[in-house]
Amino acid sequence: MTTTGTWLPEDASAVACLTFDVDAETGILSANAKAADHAMAISHQQFGPEIGVPRILDILANLDVHATFFFPGWVAERRPALVEKIAAAGHEIGHHSYSHVPASSMTREQEERDFTRALKVFEDIGVPIYGHRAGLWEASWSTPAIVAEHGLTYDSSLMTQDSPYRITTEAGSITELPPHWSLDDWEQYAFLPFPEIGQHIKNPSDVLQMWTAEVDAMRRFGGLFMLTNHPFLSGRPARAVALEALIGHILDTGDVPILTGYELATHLAEVALPERAHEKPCIEDGLFPTP
């Protein structure tokens, strides 16, 4: 690994990216196809694109900030007008697989088919795609090379650092904009009895306090505050108000620019970042258990 100096824009102590994974129905169908038989569960997910996204767009517009909306191709294919509306408002559209099925559960060939199928959907809608995020963040050992092969600029699935780094692959290098579970609303708010996607219904004020503390800590350590929210979760009223307060806190710092993934990746194209190979570790036979 090579190490380098600061990656931050001038006068910035940290950078924030606001990202929204518009999983809709795929958020549960990718866990269990039988969820299609459960009207309540499907309606829970449909809240995201139908109510959550418009509510979040209004908040972003009122605060004059832009975000990145990651769409599974399956969702974008069924709601092209929503994709176009988000893009027309100046936000970035990101690639979030086609099916939202974790790449870690696929063969290389299956992942490639899923990846290119989503690309075709975005091409047909007419929106440019620069960044990728694996379904459930579960990238495979092939994912960065696939992203590079198809000419995308960055990925946002892996967690080796809390600041951007470069992943080298046989197909070229890509920028990694690392997320983390602590900055994901899924771990705070996700609840469904079937399919079980979590058992969390936390107080939005507690979540706001935690995320505000993370913003302030990122300013100390020069990190990337990569927030991952889901409109079917954070689009709910009290949670949306907490999100609005969080963005207000970021803006009030005066030294944490809010950038889309593509804006940040464009800045980083001129920066010498730490480089890491994306390689599966070599494991000695019999050393670790295999349940």
* CATH number where 229 lies: 3.20.20.370
- Return per-residue pLDDT of the chain as tens, 291 residues: 333 458 999 999 999 999 999 999 999 999 999 999 999 999 999 999 999 999 999 999 999 999 999 999 999 999 999 999 999 999 999 999 999 999 999 999 999 999 999 999 999 999 999 999 999 999 999 999 999 999 999 999 999 999 999 999 999 999 999 999 999 999 999 999 999 999 999 999 999 999 999 999 999 999 999 999 999 999 999 999 999 999 999 999 999 999 999 999 999 999 999 999 999 999 999 999 988
Q: Is-contact 17 42, C-beta < 8 A?
A: no
SS (H, E, C) 126-192: CCCCCEECCHHHCCCCCHHHHHHHCCCCEECCCCCCCCCEEEEECCEEEEECCCCHHHECHHHHCEC
| 5 assigned to some structural domain | no
Q: How would you label 140-149 residue by residue, b for 16+ Cβ within 10 Å and e otherwise?
A: bebbbbbbbb
Q: How far apart are CA 280 and CA 144, in angstroms?
A: 13
φ, ψ of residue 213 to 5 degrees: the values are -60, -35
Q: pTM value?
A: 0.97
| 4 assigned to some structural domain | no
| 159 assigned to some structural domain | yes
Q: What is the total count of domains within the chain?
A: 1
| 236 assigned to some structural domain | yes
Domain containing 217: what range?
Answer: 15-277
* pLDDT of the residue at 4: 40
CA distance readout (Å), 245 to 54, 89, 118, 209:
18, 21, 34, 10
